[in-house]
Amino acid sequence: MSSTTDKLKGLANEAVGNVKQGVGKVTGNDNLVVEGKAQELKGEAQRTVGEAKDGVKHAADSLLGRK
């Protein structure tokens, strides 16, 4: 998976997780709040992986003299 794909999927999971948490809080559904938090954390991890891939690519490009 490309770094851009990882970052986009991560952002989507974070957004959906936040919506689930909000709906869960409004409706009093604690399970939905927990599910939303888990999805948000998954999204944060995906986004971090994408950012790390970008960092590795930039470092390799710098070492190899690429721009």
**Domain coordinates in residue numbering, the chain:** 3-63
Type of residue numbered 40? E
Question: Residue 31 and residue 43: Cα distance in Å, rounded?
Answer: 18
Mean pLDDT, the chain, integer:
94
* pTM for the whole structure: 0.82
pLDDT at 34: 98
The total of other beta-carbon atoms located within 10 Å of residue 7's CB is 19
Per-residue pLDDT band for 18 (boundaries 50, 70, 90) equals: very high
Per-residue pLDDT band for 63 (boundaries 50, 70, 90) equals: confident
Question: Residue 29 and residue 5: Cα distance in Å, rounded?
Answer: 31
Per-residue pLDDT band for 52 (boundaries 50, 70, 90) equals: very high
**DSSP assigned state of 64:** T
Mean pLDDT of 60-65: 85
